[in-house]
Structure 1
Amino acid sequence: MHQTSESVRLIAGDVELTVRPEAGCGISSLRVGGTELLRQGPRYGSFVMVPWCGRTENGRFRNGGVTHQLPINAAPHAIHGTGRDATWTRSTQDERTASFYYDLTDPWPYAGRVTQVIELAENELRLTLGVETAEVSFPAQAGWHPWFLRNLGAGGQDATIGFAPAWQEERGDNHLPTGRRIDPKPGPWDDCFGMPDGVDVTLTWPGELRVKVTSPAEWVVVYDEQPEAICVEPQSGPPNGLNTHPRLVTPIDPLEITTVWAWERLG
């Protein structure tokens, strides 16, 4: 593994990945055979969503009888967690694998530790997030928000999306699921889909590359409303899930989620 004061670089054959632990442990670059797959910029690449995913309604959630207020950063909601704004610590490393952690703190109201393990191979990337507590139990979510380039910039065609969700979460005017499950509608999307057999979404750049995003998780958000990129976001629950589908992290039952991005070269 190669590193600077700001980044960690993993290499597997002609595949290179750059992680920024001081910038939320986000993946700032993933290059396959010299081709960049991720949109570049400080809020792009692929960032971690933890301890919640997507929007939490009005920034409020309950744990038992206690209501908590989170900072509003996508008015009127709180979006994408606090992990992407934290400085993470690298704990292990080698040429192809690295692990990181950070301890939950304000504005999240509960103590806990978040870990991320990044494992790079010549034909796939495996990511694992964990959320644990040694003390008070609390609801949490975890997932990833990768910005895949719509066009790889070599004169080829734009990417196409292939997936077969069991349902789409109906989205209300407040951008949150209404609680109704509907038949999937055509894009463009900023929507959450249910895949009870596990997330399985394929991006294909014809004649260039195919990337399959999978996860045992049952929820994926697809966002393709911007012309530059397509986001495929495996996550442990739907938007506003702290309130509607709370998954309790306890001292004996941590939250863990894994995703694999596997690529096939078509050129």
Structure 2
Amino acid sequence: MKLRKVTAASAVVLALAVSATACGSDKKDEGSSGGGGKKKITVGIKFDQPGLGQKTPQGYSGFDVDVAKYVAKKLGYNEDQIEWKESKSGDRETMLQRGDVDFIAATYSINAEREKKVDFAGPYLLAHQDVLIRADDDSIKSPADLNSKKLCSVTGSTSAQNVKEKLAPKADLQNYPTYSACLGGLQSKQIDALTTDDSILAGYASQDQFKGKFKLGGFKMTNENYGIGVKKGSDLKDKINKALEQMVADGSWEKAVSINFGPANYKYEPAPKIGDIKS
């Protein structure tokens, strides 16, 4: 009887040990495979910006998405190892600080205030604040021509306010809930111009239903240096910078710009040099 009890106890101990080992093995597997020991990399993008970051029934598309895919591949991850997360403008710093994402590529302009909270790789695109107007409208040839015109931007955006305060004080500001609503108003002639970053405008104008209907003013009213955000102190910054340099060198950057913005005749800037922030 004694021997039987000892054997039974030993069996329980052995079972627990095997179970613990198996659990430890599972954890190890979760943190192994490609890309610095992780099975997946989590990337923040916009879900609602055509030409830049958009979620569709077919998947994810846009210039930011193409940049993110290229960078992830250079970090050792295949496309099916990328977990995409929506990164709204007001949430980006918090998402990086909490570790919700590994990096963010979401029309994320580099500025001093943000650099206090997160680090940036790049820039990978130099955009400018501009206006989108109807293709047949020849009355708006400079920012001053926006005086007395109906100028649209999204509620909460500072873009239209910047134009009114600095360039066209008599502009009639029209706040719409979304850029798509602004585009509808522009098409129906309820408004005369839409303003935000030229890359965003080009993305919307490149949609099939809008091709040939709108044009960019080409005013370059501000400089917007798009960077890839990472957590403060992350060693990913240097790795991403190297990936971005390779993307430019092998022609992938130029190809991505052409595919995503080409239909809008977007006169984009050459690929910026890493660390070259235009004020």
User: TM-score surpassing 0.5?
Assistant: no
- Rg (Cα) greater in structure: 2
Comparing both chains, which one has the higher relative contact order based on Cα–Cα distances under 8 Å and sequence gaps of 6 or more?
2
